[in-house]
Structure 1
Amino acid sequence: MKKNNETVEGPDGLVYTARLPLSSATLNYLADLIRGHCKKIRSPWRALPAGKIAGIVLAVLRCDQRPGDLAGGNGIHRTTVSRWVREVVGLLAARAPRLDRALKKIARTGGGIVLLDGSLIRTRRRTGDANRKNYSGKSKCHGLLVIALTDDRGRLLWVSPARPGRTSEITACRHDHLTAHLRATGLGAIADLGFIGLDDNDDPDADPAVITGYKAARNRPLTPGQKLSNTVLAAVRAPVEHGFAHLKNWRVLTKLRADPKSATVLVRALLVLTNREIAR
C-alpha cells in the first residue's frame, strides 16, 4: 500500500521563503540540542538535517505556522513535523530553571528582590466542565494562568505550571509555596495589588516576603504617602511586564489548543528560548 504524503491543497501548492525574527545563535543552540538527543537515543537518521528541523520548529513556535504547511514545503508528512515539535519542546522544557535554583542564583549574585506577576494565556473555548474551569472572570475570556518571576531588569527567572483560568494568583502562588522559597533564600518579591494577602506570616517582626502597594476602600481613601508608595512600587515592578512581553512574542501562545499539562511544558520551553534570545 502506497502512502500519500501530499498536502491537502495538492502537489502543485506554492512554496515561499519567510524570515524568522530570531538569531542564528538560537538556531544553532537548538540544532546542537537535537543532534545530542539523536546521539543519546542512538537514532542518527532524520528525514532532514538537524539545522533544518530546528528552523521548522522555530517557525511553529515563533510564527504559529501550521505543521501541514511546513510539511508540504519541505517534502515531509504533517505528523512528522508535529512529532519534531513535541520532541524539541520536551528537550527545552527539561532545561527550564526550577524555582529554588532560580532564587538561589539571584541570591548568589547579590540580588535582594525579584518581581512577581501573573498573566493569562488565552485558549480556545471548550465545552462542558473544561469550559467553566478555564474561564477567567477577571479577564472575561478562557485561558490558563501562569505566574512568573523576573529579576529587577525584567529577565525571566521562573514560570509556574499553567493552571485553569479561574484560579486566583494568590492560590497559584500558595500551591507553589512561593513565600517559603523566598524566605529560605532571603529574598523579597515586589508584586501588584492582586497579591495582597499572599504573605501570611504570623511573626510581626519578620520582613515581608511579598511587598505590595496599598488598596483604597470606599470609606478609606489613600493618603498622599500611600499614593506615593504605590507610584514608586509601580515604577520598580514595571520591568516584569517586559518579561511577559518577551514570552508572548512567541505567537504559538496567541490562542492555545492544549490542556494545562501540555501548556506547562510549552511555556517552560519558550522560557528557555526567550532567555537565549535576550542573553545574546
Structure 2
Amino acid sequence: MIVLAVLRHDQRLADMAGGNNVSESTVRRWRDELIALLAAQAPRLDRALKKVAKQSGEVVLIDGTLIPTQRRAGKADRRNYSAKHRHHGLHFLALTDEKGRLIWLSAARPGRTHDNTAARHDHILAHLRAAGLGALADLGFRGLDNDVRDPVIVTGFHASRAHKLTPGQKTANRILATERAPVEHGFAHLKN
C-alpha cells in the first residue's frame, strides 16, 4: 500500500516512510522493485502492433498526454515543466485501438517533450510501417510522416492566419476528431 501511495499520489518517500515506521531506503527499494515488475509485464511496441495487425486491425489511434506531478524544488525539475499546459508533469505517448483500449504506453519523458519528438524517439513510424498499420493522430504529430503518396500517420489540416481552411478541410478535421475520440477515453481511464 505504501508503494501504491507513492506512485499514485506522488507522495514523498520520506513522508511515507516516517508515517509507516520503515526507512526511506526501504520504501525506495519497494518502489523500484514494483516498477521493475510492472515494466517487465508491459508489451513491446513491435509486438503490440503485430498483435493488432493479426486481429485484423488496420488503424490505431495515437496521442500524447501530460500526467501532472508535483513541482520539486530546485532547477532539476525545470525539464518537467510543460509550457503548453503551464504545469509540471511527465509526458506519455499511447496507442489505442478504435474502441479506446490501450495497446501500448511509452516510457515517461520530461513534460516539455513534444508529441512529435517522443514519436520519433520511439520510432513509431517505422514500427507502424513494419506492422502494416495506419494511425490517426492530432495536429501534434504533423510533419512526422511526410509521405504524401502513402501516409501511415493521418493528421488533420492546420489553419493559419494566411491560410484559412476550406469547408471540405473543416469537414475532414471534424470526421478525424470523431474517429480519434476513443484515444482520449483511453487516457481518461489511465489517469483515473
Q: Fold match, TM over 0.5?
A: yes
The residue correspondences of 1:251-266 to structure 2 (distance < 5 A) are none
Residue identity over aligned pairs, in percent, reads 61
Partner of 1:83: 29
- The superposition leaves residues 121-153 of structure 1 with CA deviations (integer Å, 9 ceiling, x where unpaired) of 22324422x243222221112222111111111
Letter of the aligned partner of 1:127 in structure 2? G
Partner of 2:16: 67
Q: Give the 3-state SS of the residue equivalent to 1:142 in structure 2.
A: strand
Question: Which structure has more strand as a fraction of its residues?
Answer: 2
Instruction: Check if 1:175 corresponds to 2:121.
Output: yes
Per the normalisation by structure 2, the TM-score is 0.86
The verdict on how the C-alpha distance between 1:67 and 1:131 changes in structure 2, with shifts beyond 3 A counting, is closer
Q: Give the 3-state SS of the residue equivalent to 1:107 in structure 2.
A: helix
Identify unmatched segments of 5+ residues in structure 2: none
Instruction: Check if 1:212 corresponds to 2:141.
Output: no
CA contact (8 A) 1:120 1:165 kept: yes
Question: What is the CA–CA distance in structure 2 between the aligned matches of 1:67 and 1:78, rounded to whole Å?
Answer: 9
Question: What is the CA–CA distance in structure 1 between the aligned matches of 2:160 and 2:179, rounded to whole Å?
Answer: 24
The verdict on how the C-alpha distance between 1:127 and 1:227 changes in structure 2, with shifts beyond 3 A counting, is same
Partner of 1:276: none
Partner of 1:258: none
Partner of 1:161: 107
Note the aligned Cα RMSD (angstroms). Answer: 2.2
The residue correspondences of 1:47-66 to structure 2 (distance < 5 A) are 57-58=3-4, 60-62=6-8
The verdict on how the C-alpha distance between 1:70 and 1:175 changes in structure 2, with shifts beyond 3 A counting, is same
Aligned residues between the structures: 187
Partner of 1:186: 132
Letter of the aligned partner of 2:98 in structure 1? D
Deviates more, 1:239-248 or 1:59-68: 59-68
Equivalent of 1:223, from 141, 166, 169?
166
Q: Give the 3-state SS of the residue equivalent to 1:111 in structure 2.
A: coil
Equivalent of 2:89, from 143, 160, 171?
143
Partner of 1:127: 74
Partner of 1:45: none
Identify unmatched segments of 5+ residues in structure 1: 1-54, 250-280
Question: What is the CA–CA distance in structure 2 between the aligned matches of 1:131 and 1:86, rounded to whole Å?
Answer: 20
Instruction: Check if 1:239 corresponds to 2:182.
Output: yes
